[in-house]
C-alpha cells in the first residue's frame, strides 16, 4: 500500500502582475518526510510553499494538503501547519519564555504554562527562560523560533530558509531536531540554499524560472543529471578552470578549493576535451561522482538555454 500523502497537488500556477512565477507545479509528498526545495533566488520556492498550504491561492491547479482542499479549506490547513517564514524573527525584547507564551496565546492553546515548560525543557533552555530572546546567539534564536512554530503540534512544518546565516554546528543541531520531528510523524517542507542540508532531506526538488526541473532523492537527482565528472588536483588545477571553460565536450569546470571538477554529459567527448591536460606535470586526474552543486549548476545552465 502507498503511504498516505501529506501533500498532493497538480498543475499549480501563480502569476504576479501578469508574470508567471510558478508554472505547472505538481508534487506528492508522503507523510513524515523531509522534503527540500532548492533553486536560485526568485525561482518560486516561497511562492510554491505558500500555495501548497493554502496561504496563497493558485491561479490554476488543484490539490490537497493534509487531506484538505488547498482552494476551499485553507482555514483547516492553516490550523495544522507551522510556518517559519523566510527571515522569521522573534520578539527580541521579550524573554525566551514570553516568546513561547505569546505564541501559545495567539493559537489559543490550552495548558499554556505546561506547553511552554515542555518546549523549554526540550530546547534545554529551562534555566534561561527569563533571558531576553534578543540576547541569544543566531543558532539559538533559530532553535527557539522553531520551537514557537511547533508549539501547537502541527502536522506539517514549513521552513523557509530556516538556517540562513547560522554556523555549521548550530545548523547540524537544528537538523537533528528536524529529523526528530519527522520521526514523530511530522511532514517537513524546507527551502534551503545549502547543499549539506539538501543531503539531509529524504527527497528534494529543484526549481528554476518557476518550473520544477527535477525531483527525487539526492542519489537519484545526481544519477539523473547524466553528468560524468573528473576531479583534478595539484598545482594550478583551479586555474585550469578558465582554460577548459566552454570547450566542446565540457559542460562545466568548477573549482572546489584548490581542486577542480570537470564535467560533461558525453564521456567520450569529455575525455577528448581534457586529453591535452591529462598528463600535464603536477596534475592528478581521477573520475568522481558529480557533487550536488555540479548538478544544480548544470541544471541552471540548461534551464537558461531552454527558458530565456
Ligand atoms: N507578492 C508578490 N508580488 C509580486 N511579485 C512577487 C510576490 N511574491 C513573489 N514575487 C516574485 O515572484 C518570483 C518568485 O519569488 P519567490 O519569493 O517565490 O522566490 P524564492 O525562490 O523563494 O526566492 P529566494 O531564494 O530569494 O527566497 C520573484 O520574481 C518575486 O519577485
Ligand atoms: Mg524565498
Q: Using CA atoms, how far apart are residues 199 and 277, in angstroms rounded to an integer?
A: 33
Domain match, 283 and 216 both: no
Structurally, the chain folds into a number of domains equal to 2
Closest ligand by atom to 19 CA: 1
Closest ligand by atom to 38 CA: 1
What is the domain range of residue 253? 228-289
CB atoms within 10 A of CB 248: 10
- With beta carbons less than 8 A apart as the criterion, state whether 177 and 143 touch: yes
> Does residue 136 sit within a domain?
yes
Cell numbers linked to 205: 526538488
Query: What pLDDT, in 10s, does the model give residues 57-73?
Result: 999 999 999 999 999 99
Sheet containing strand 68-69, edge to edge, reads 19-30, 5-16, 60-65, 68-69
Ligand 1 centre to CA of 46 (Å) is: 7
| CB of 21 closer than 6 angstroms to any ligand 1 atom | yes
Band of pLDDT at residue 308, cut at 50, 70 and 90: low
Write out the E strands in the chain.
5-16, 19-30, 34-38, 60-65, 68-69, 81-84, 156-160, 187-191, 203-208, 211-216, 228-234, 252-256, 259-264, 283-288
Domain match, 189 and 41 both: yes
- With beta carbons less than 8 A apart as the criterion, state whether 21 and 15 touch: yes
Give the orientation angle of helix 168-183 with respect to helix 138-149, to 10 degrees: 20
Question: Across residues 79-92, what is the average pLDDT?
Answer: 90
pLDDT of 1 > 80? The answer is no
* Mutation choice for ligand 1 from 18, 43, 212, CB with most ligand atoms inside 8 A: 43
Sign of CA dihedral 90, 95, 101, 106: negative
| CB of 243 closer than 6 angstroms to any ligand 1 atom | no
pTM: 0.92
Q: Atom 2 (ligand 1): residue with closest C-alpha?
A: 16
| CB of 164 closer than 6 angstroms to any ligand 1 atom | no
Band of pLDDT at residue 16, cut at 50, 70 and 90: very high
How many residues would you count in the chain?
308
Question: Across residues 113-127, what is the average pLDDT?
Answer: 91
Q: Which atom of ligand 1 is nearest to the CA of 48?
A: 18
Ligand 2 centre to CA of 40 (Å) is: 9
> Does residue 8 sit within a domain?
no
> Does residue 60 sit within a domain?
no
- With beta carbons less than 8 A apart as the criterion, state whether 213 and 287 touch: no
Closest ligand by atom to 193 CA: 1
Sign of CA dihedral 65, 22, 302, 36: negative
- Secondary element (H or E) of residue 294: helix 292-307
* Mutation choice for ligand 1 from 38, 44, 198, CB with most ligand atoms inside 8 A: 44
> Does residue 48 sit within a domain?
yes
Q: Return the HEC string of 193-256.
A: CCHHHHCCCCEEEEEECCEEEEEECHHHHHHHCCCEEEEEEECCCCCHHHHHCCCCCCCEEEEE
End-to-end CA distance of the chain: 42
Question: Across residues 232-238, what is the average pLDDT?
Answer: 90
Query: What pLDDT, in 10s, does the model give residues 131-159?
Result: 999 999 888 999 999 999 999 999 999 99
Domain match, 238 and 167 both: no
Q: Atom 29 (ligand 1): residue with closest C-alpha?
A: 42
- Secondary element (H or E) of residue 274: helix 267-274
By CB atoms closer than 10 A (0-12, 13-18, 19+), residue 219 is exposed
Domain match, 200 and 239 both: no
> Does residue 67 sit within a domain?
no
Ligand 2 centre to CA of 37 (Å) is: 10
Ligand 2 centre to CA of 47 (Å) is: 7
| CB of 43 closer than 6 angstroms to any ligand 1 atom | yes
* Mutation choice for ligand 1 from 25, 42, 86, 198, CB with most ligand atoms inside 8 A: 42
- Here the CATH number for the domain that contains residue 196 is 3.40.50.300
| CB of 20 closer than 6 angstroms to any ligand 1 atom | no
Query: What pLDDT, in 10s, does the model give residues 170-209?
Result: 999 999 999 999 999 999 999 999 999 999 999 999 999 9
Ligand 2 centre to CA of 50 (Å) is: 10
Query: What pLDDT, in 10s, does the model give residues 31-47?
Result: 999 999 999 999 999 99
Query: What pLDDT, in 10s, does the model give residues 244-281?
Result: 988 999 999 999 888 999 999 999 999 999 999 999 99
DSSP 127: G
Q: Atom 5 (ligand 1): residue with closest C-alpha?
A: 16
Query: Which residues, at least 6 apart from 128, have a Cβ–Cβ distance to it below 8 Å?
Result: 96
> Does residue 306 sit within a domain?
no
Domain match, 50 and 196 both: yes
Amino acid at each position: 500500500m502507498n503511504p498516505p500523502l501529506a501533500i498532493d497537488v497538480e498543475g499549480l500556477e501563480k502569476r504576479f502582475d501578469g508574470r508567471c512565477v510558478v508554472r505547472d507545479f505538481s508534487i506528492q509528498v508522503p507523510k513524515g518526510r523531509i522534503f527540500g526545495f532548492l533553486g536560485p533566488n526568485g525561482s518560486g520556492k516561497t511562492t510554491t510553499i505558500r500555495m501548497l498550504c493554502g496561504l496563497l491561492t493558485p491561479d490554476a491547479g488543484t490539490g490537497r494538503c493534509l487531506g484538505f482542499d488547498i482552494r476551499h479549506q485553507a482555514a483547516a490547513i492553516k490550523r495544522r501547519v507551522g510556518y517559519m517564514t523566510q527571515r522569521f524573527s522573534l520578539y527580541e525584547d521579550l524573554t525566551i519564555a514570553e516568546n513561547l507564551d505569546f505564541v501559545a496565546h495567539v493559537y489559543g492553546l490550552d495548558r499554556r504554562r505546561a506547553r511552554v515548560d515542555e518546549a523549554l525543557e526540550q530546547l534545554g533552555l529551562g534555566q534561561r527562560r527569563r533571558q531576553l530572546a534578543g540576547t541569544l546567539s543566531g543558532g539559538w534564536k533559530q532553535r527557539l523560533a522553531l520551537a514557537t512554530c511547533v508549539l501547537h503540534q502541527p502536522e506539517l512544518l514549513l521552513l523557509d530558509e530556516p538556517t540562513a546565516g547560522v554556523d555549521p554546528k548550530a545548523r547540524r543541531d537544528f537538523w537533528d531536531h528536524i529529523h526528530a520531528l519527522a520521526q514523530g510523524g511530522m511532514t517537513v517542507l524546507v527551502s534551503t540554499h545549502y547543499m549539506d542540508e539538501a543531503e539531509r532531506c529524504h527527497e528534494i526538488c529543484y526549481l528554476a524560472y518557476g518550473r520544477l526541473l527535477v525531483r527525487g532523492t539526492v542519489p537519484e537527482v545526481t544519477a539523473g543529471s547524466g553528468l560524468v565528472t573528473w576531479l583534478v588536483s595539484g598545482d594550478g588545477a583551479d586555474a585550469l578552470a578558465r582554460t577548459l571553460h566552454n570547450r566542446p565536450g565540457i559542460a562545466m569546470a568548477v573549482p572546489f578549493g584548490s581542486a577542480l571538477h570537470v564535467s560533461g554529459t558525453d564521456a567520450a567527448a569529455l575525455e577528448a576535451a581534457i586529453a591535452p591536460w591529462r598528463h600535464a606535470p603536477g596534475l592528478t586526474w581521477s573520475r568522481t561522482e558529480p557533487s550536488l552543486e555540479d548538478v544544480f549548476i548544470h541544471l541552471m545552465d540548461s534551464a537558461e538555454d531552454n527558458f530565456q
